[in-house]
Amino acid sequence: MGYVAKPTMEERYGIISATAGTGGVTEYTFVSYDASTGVATTATSGALNVMIAMGSADAGDQVSCKFAGLEYLSVNAASAITVGCSLVPTTAGVGIITTTDKHFVCAIALDALASSTGHILVECAHFTLSV
């Protein structure tokens, strides 16, 4: 038995195209996506519908956003990031560790970063942390 319908490229690769909102978006940062308008803006703390911008784009330009699978993410390792850490966006869309109960996790770290800022490989995730 085969598929009823052929999966779209979005479904197969976890990527959508969005229009960058006010202020534009920066490569490898979390963005918040509004499905009703197709607009992606820099994600802030507590944002839902979060993806990762795969490139930088000025306001009004198109940008590819990753909602599933592996991608690089800009992170701030004020606290050391280890493999398996749950990550959420800061005000600037950069990933930070969360250990707070009921936080909506947006990515899981697949690389470690002891301190400072940088890019690490992550798995896009969408779940509520329960600690």
pLDDT one digit per residue (tens) for the chain, 131 residues: 455 677 676 767 889 999 999 999 999 999 999 989 999 999 988 887 899 999 999 999 999 999 999 999 999 988 899 999 999 999 899 999 988 777 788 999 999 999 889 999 999 988 887 76
Query: What pLDDT does 9 receive?
Result: 66
Query: What pLDDT does 27 receive?
Result: 97
The pTM (predicted TM-score) of the whole model is 0.88
C-alpha 71/C-alpha 129 separation (Å) is 21
C-alpha 129/C-alpha 4 separation (Å) is 35
- 40-73 burial, b if ≥16 CB within 10 A, otherwise e? bbbbeeebeebbbbbeebeeeeebbbbbbeebbb
